[in-house]
Amino acid sequence: DQQVKQNSPSLSVQEGRISILNCDYTNSMFDYFLWYKKYPAEGPTFLISISSIKDKNEDGRFTVFLNKSAKHLSLHIVPSQPGDSAVYFCAANRGADGLTFGKGTHLIIQP
Amino acid sequence: GAVVSQHPSWVICKSGTSVKIECRSLDFQATTMFWYRQFPKQSLMLMATSNEGSKATYEQGVEKDKFLINHASLTLSTLTVTSAHPEDSSFYICSARRTSGTGASYEQYFGPGTRLTVT
């Protein structure tokens, strides 16, 4: 039973445009959500997070939106840059628990 | 910063032997560290939570006698894969959460991972 779902295995976006990565979750007990960027054979790099009491958090080019009623969150990257090409993982947890990850979305930024 | 290191970065061992992987938080204290495993083209799966000074808690389906975890200090956790078999070959990643002092938060910072191949 997958509690965190990323339904798009890959996404291709033109450089300079907006990249939108989506994530859905089923466990209503999750209270913290995070996005990580990962390259093959490397550990994930933390990008941005959001608490369940908020609906938006912004950090530079990255913005995360949370819709609790829909159990949905999204990561917006604008403008997209070639260096953004990587696998992006959505993760969630409750309190101080370990993270539950989605399967990832491979973002490809085309020049 | 929040840097987490792992050693070794890759290891090849023979079936039946044991392998120890170290995870260190270099510039912060972490009373809690986590161990994850990632199979090819799969997501990261939480294996266990490592708590400084106490026993680790394991996720369902993870054998605690096979994956021994020791959290000896606020900056070091070790994972020992005992009697390794080819099916244990995987990418093992640790993370640490800054749990005390300035900047304590829920973000987890990950190590670079350890590629284990059991022949």
Number of residues assigned to chain B:
119
Distances (CA, A) of B95 to A13, A85, A96, B37, B71: 30, 23, 13, 11, 13
As a whole number of angstroms, the distance between CA B9 and CA B96 comes to: 17
A77 has a chain B CB within 8 A of its CB = no
Question: B110 to chain A nearest CA, in Å?
Answer: 6
Partner A, chain B 12-31, Cβ-Cβ below 8 Å: none
Residue that has been written with the tokens 């020791």 in this structure: B70
Report CA dihedral (B74, B7, B35, B95) to the nearest 10 degrees. 60
Interchain contact, B95 vs A99, CB within 8 Å:
yes
Contact between B12 and B37 under an 8 Å Cβ cutoff? The reply is no
Backbone angles phi, psi at A52, to 5 degrees: -70, -10
> Is residue B103 over pLDDT 60?
no
Q: Tell me whether residues B111 and A93 touch, CB distance under 8 A.
A: no
- Residue pair A26/A3 in contact (Cβ under 8 Å)? The answer is yes
- Over 60: is that where the pLDDT of B101 sits? no
The per-residue pLDDT for A41 is 84
- B68-86: pLDDT as tens digits: 999 988 899 999 999 999 9
**Distance between CA atoms of residues A3 and A24, nearest Å:** 8
pLDDT band at A65 (very low <50, low <70, confident <90, very high): very high
A34-56 tens-digit pLDDT: 999 999 888 999 999 999 999 99
* Residue B104 confidence (pLDDT) above 70: no
Q: Is B49 on the interface with A (CB under 8 A)?
A: yes
Q: Is A103 on the interface with B (CB under 8 A)?
A: yes
